[in-house]
Amino acid sequence: MATRFTKIIFSKFIFWLLIAFIGGYFLFSIDTKRVDRIEKETGKKLGFVQKVMNSIRMPRLKLGIDLQGGTYLVLGVEVDKAIKSKLLLESKNLEQLFKLKKLKNRPIKKEVQKSQLVLSFDDEQDAKICFNLIKKEVPSLKSEVKGTEVISGLTSAEEKRIRMGSVEQAVNVLSNRLSGFGVEGIVVQQHGEKQIVVQLPGVDDPERVKSVITKTAKLDFKIVEKVARSKQELLDDFDGELPSDKVIVMGKKRSGEFGEEESGSAYLVSAYPDLTGEHITDARISYDNYNRVAVSFKLDGAGARQFKELTGNNIGKSLAIIIDNVVYSAPTIQSAIGSQGQITGNFSAEEAKDLALVLRSGALLAPIKFEQETRVGATLGQDSIRKGLLACVVALALLFFFSLIYYRVAGFFAILALIFNLFLVLLFLSYFESALTLPGIAGMVLTIGMAVDASILIYERIKEELKTGTTFRKALNDGFKNAMVVILDSNITTFLTGFILFKFGGPAIKGFAVTLMIGIIATVLSGVYFLKSIFEFVLNNTKIKFLKF
């Protein structure tokens, strides 16, 4: 008796049951309050089976927006503007280089045309001197001389790096921003060369999320040279045309005395920032000395040194705090400021919170534009779940009757392996935090067919072995062993196909590919090892020594 009990305890089937128990504890939970809510809303008492079905939940299983409803966005990254920003930065760096090398005759005009930086000089000799200096000192630029102009552009390697880096950086920045909303299941992923797909399942306020997404959050600090009530007043001082190293930035619009919106002041500042927001390490909502909502920020060591030098050298002047080309505030510098600062600008609490969020997550290298928006209602999502589950149940039922009629008891074992297969798919999806989508449900239905195919291969090989007069135990072992090669061969090729779909497909295709690949792994585990453990358990621990096929 003790020997049989020991056999049962250490059998492979008990090992799989233990995995099922631990996995079930991880995957499922009981929510009795949900049953009470349903009965209260409908005014009807649920039966025992209905109570069980409605109380069992899978809280760790994430659902895509096509199943639970939400917003699906396709964003375009304007990488050409990132290249232009890089050229403007190089223009500023060249100015510093010219000063360092004591270049006497500097460019009389600098401008970015398309993807090229054009430097204009008084004569051709000055242009050639500048060209040689750039060629020697700035490897990221390729230049040529055309008369009195030096035309520079980014090298192909540098341009490729910026194009790829802009999209990758945008994915990281948006992921950080959206994680601040505390919504589970948000997906941000690159699609193609210039697009990003954002899935927002169950978001209550998609318009607010969209406003946070589109903020470039480019923060610049610039010393104010002059302030006027309008842009035209400042242009008049330059006869209508600004020098290439000056720009006019408008102040943030504010509410007037009677609630009407008034335009802000116009600020004349340098075209190049004195300090950028890339040094920000933290940003939080705060309050100023008048108890108005503000945003406080902290700078890293390098930023703190630059900020202290900038403010220390310009005491008494105004410092424009510019976010996305709008002056939010321009306080007068009273003393040198170190690692901390504050942004004011008639914020609401929500605006300040969102601004702090985007400043913390970093600025986008390139602006983002909306190219497509699709909204899925929760009702449609629930309908998709019901139809998907119905498809799985119908497939299981048909296979159940087919297996029982054709393979009898062995067919029943195959159905147990099939149910265990679906359990493993859901368990893997939950553990790896992969969202189940509508195409994913299609992948699960396909997995059912593939798992049955594995069982049929094994059973047919067993039948062939039995026809040769082999004992049932040997036929069973040889059937599993010989079918294993064919099963692995077919499943590995399908797995590779799923991997290619995941690597190069869109979001919907990726949902199908993930479930397909997980389903293949589950098929091998359940359709071979779990199924064989059932046969061994029955043969070793019951009086049954032979099964008809």
Amino acid 496: pLDDT: 92
Answer whether 301's CB lies under 8 Å from 278's CB.
no
Q: How far is it, in rounded angstroms, from Cα 505 to Cα 517?
A: 14
At residue 185 the predicted structure's pLDDT band, cuts being 50, 70 and 90, is: low
* Tokens (6 digits) for 228: 């006027």
Q: Examine domains 79-157 and 378-541 and report if their fold is the same.
A: no
Map out the domains of the chain as residue ranges: 1-59, 79-157, 218-362, 378-541
Residue 160 vs residues 134, 164, 184, 363, 443: alpha-carbon distances, Å: 20, 6, 34, 20, 37
Q: Class of 378-541 per CATH?
A: mainly alpha
| Nearest in space to 480 (alpha carbons), one of 393, 410, 405 | 410
Residue 361 has pLDDT above 70, yes or no: no
Reported as a single tens digit per residue, the pLDDT across 39-83 is 777 777 777 767 777 777 787 887 777 777 778 888 888 888 888
Q: How many CB atoms lie within 10 A of CB 1?
A: 5
pTM of the complete model: 0.60
Q: Which of 121-135, 258-272, 294-308 has the lowest mean pLDDT?
A: 258-272
Residue 7 confidence (pLDDT): 56
pLDDT at 183: 58
Distance CA 62, CA 428 (A): 12
pLDDT number for residue 532: 92
Residues 284-323 have pLDDT tens digits of: 888 877 788 888 888 888 788 888 888 888 888 888 888 7
Q: How many CB atoms lie within 10 A of CB 88?
A: 17
- Residue 184 pLDDT greater than 70, yes or no: no
pLDDT of residue 259: 42
- Looking at 157-166, 200-209, 453-462, 536-545, which range is the least confident one? 200-209
In order of 129, 143, 231, 521, the CA distances from 136 in angstroms are 11, 11, 41, 57
- Over the stretch 381-422, which tens digit does the pLDDT of each residue have? 567 667 777 777 887 788 888 888 888 899 899 989 989 998
Residue 298 forms beta bridges with which residues?
282, 340
Range with the lowest mean pLDDT among 40-44, 93-97, 213-217, 264-268?
A: 213-217
Considering only CA atoms, which of 29, 12, 42, 9 is closest in space to residue 532?
Answer: 12
Distance (Å, rounded) from C-alpha 91 to C-alpha 228?
A: 28
Q: How confident is the model at residue 159 (pLDDT cuts 50, 70, 90)?
A: confident
258 has a pLDDT exceeding 60: no
Question: What integer pLDDT is reported at residue 378 of this predicted model?
Answer: 58
Least-confidence region, from 87-96, 177-186, 303-312, 345-354 = 177-186
pLDDT score at 420: 93
Mean pLDDT across the stretch 541-547?
Answer: 82
- As a whole number, mean pLDDT of residues 6-26 equals 79
Q: Is 185 left (phi over 0), alpha (psi -120 to 50) or beta?
A: left
**Is the pLDDT at 377 greater than 50, yes or no?**
yes
Report how far residue 151's alpha carbon sits from residue 138's, in angstroms, rounded to the nearest whole number. 13
306 closest CA partner among 275, 283, 277: 275
CATH of range 218-362; options 3.30.1360.200, 3.50.50.60, 3.40.50.150, 2.40.50.140 = 3.30.1360.200
* 225, 247 contact by CB (below 8 A): no
Residue-averaged pLDDT of the chain: 81
pLDDT at residue 376 above 80? Answer: no
What's residue 421's pLDDT? 92
Check: CB of residue 133 under 8 Å from CB of residue 119: no
User: In whole angstroms, what is the distance from residue 123 CA to residue 94 CA?
Assistant: 19
Q: Is the pLDDT of residue 379 over 60?
A: no
Percentage of residues in the chain having pLDDT higher than 90: 8
Average pLDDT for 366-378: 78
Side chain identity, residue 64: G
Domain range 79-157, CATH class: alpha beta
pLDDT score for 203: 67
- In terms of residues, how long is the chain? 549
Q: How confident is the model at residue 380 (pLDDT cuts 50, 70, 90)?
A: low
State mean pLDDT over 488-514.
85
Mean of the pLDDT values across residues 72-100?
82
Q: Is residue 180 predicted with pLDDT exceeding 60? A: yes
